Amino acid sequence: MEFKTVTPELLEQLQAAAPGRVHTGEDMKPDYAHDEMPVYGQRMPGAVVECASTAEVAAVCRLCYDNGIPIIPRGAGTGLCGGCVPLYGGVVVDTQRMNRILGYDLDNFTVRVQSGVLLNDLANDCWEKGVFYPPDPGEKFATIGGNVAVNAGGMRAVKYGATRDYVRAMTVVLPCGEIVRLGGEVSKTSSGYNLLQLMVGSEGTLGIITEVSLKVLPQPKQTFSLLILFPDLDAAISCVPKIKMAGLDPQALEFLGREMVLGIERYLGKTVYPGQCEGEDVGAYLLTTFECDSEEAMDGLMEKAAELCLDNGAMDVMVYDTPEAIRSAWAVRGATLEAILAEFKQSDECDVVVPIPGIPEFVNYVVSLEDEIGLAVRASGHAGDGNVHVNVCANDMDPDEFMERAERFMALAYAKGRELGGLISGEHGIGHAKESYLEEALGGTVMNLMRGVKAAFDPKGLLNPGKVCGKA
- Cβ(299)–Cβ(231) below 8 Å: no
The CB density around residue 197, as the number of other CB atoms within 10 Å, is 15
Rounded Cα–Cα distance for residues 363 and 67 (Å): 48
Rounded Cα–Cα distance for residues 392 and 376 (Å): 6
- At residue 92, the pLDDT reads 98
Rounded Cα–Cα distance for residues 98 and 348 (Å): 31
- Cβ(349)–Cβ(389) below 8 Å: yes
Question: Which stretches does DSSP call E strand in 129-247?
Answer: 131-132, 167-173, 179-183, 208-215, 217-218, 222-230
Q: Are strands 376-382 and 387-394 parallel, antiparallel or unpaired?
A: antiparallel
Axis-axis angle for helices 295-311, 233-245 (nearest 10): 130
Question: Which stretches does DSSP call E strand in 26-107?
Answer: 47-50, 71-74, 91-94, 101-105
Q: Report CA-CA distances (Å) from 321 to 19, 236, 328, 409.
A: 52, 22, 11, 40
Tens digit of each residue's pLDDT, the chain (472 residues): 689 999 999 999 999 999 999 999 999 999 999 999 888 889 999 999 999 999 999 999 999 999 999 999 999 999 999 999 999 999 999 999 999 999 999 999 999 999 999 999 999 999 999 999 999 998 999 999 999 999 999 999 999 999 999 999 999 999 999 999 999 998 888 999 999 999 999 999 999 999 999 999 999 999 999 999 999 999 999 999 999 999 999 999 999 999 999 999 999 999 999 999 999 999 999 999 999 988 888 999 999 999 999 999 999 999 999 999 999 999 999 999 999 999 999 999 999 999 999 999 999 999 999 999 999 999 999 999 999 999 999 999 999 999 999 999 999 999 999 999 999 999 999 999 999 999 999 999 999 999 999 999 999 999 999 999 976 5
Enumerate the H helices of 195-291 as residue ranges: 195-199, 233-245, 258-268
- Cβ(341)–Cβ(393) below 8 Å: no
- At residue 2, the pLDDT reads 83
- At residue 470, the pLDDT reads 79
Phi, psi of 214 (to 5 degrees): -120, 145
Q: Report CA-CA distances (Å) from 441 to 42, 80, 203, 311, 418.
A: 26, 20, 19, 39, 7
3-class secondary structure, 423: strand
Sign of CA dihedral 356, 357, 358, 363: positive
- At residue 255, the pLDDT reads 96
Rounded Cα–Cα distance for residues 70 and 263 (Å): 41
- Cβ(263)–Cβ(340) below 8 Å: yes
H or E stretch at 389: strand 387-394
3-class secondary structure, 195: helix
Rounded Cα–Cα distance for residues 402 and 177 (Å): 41
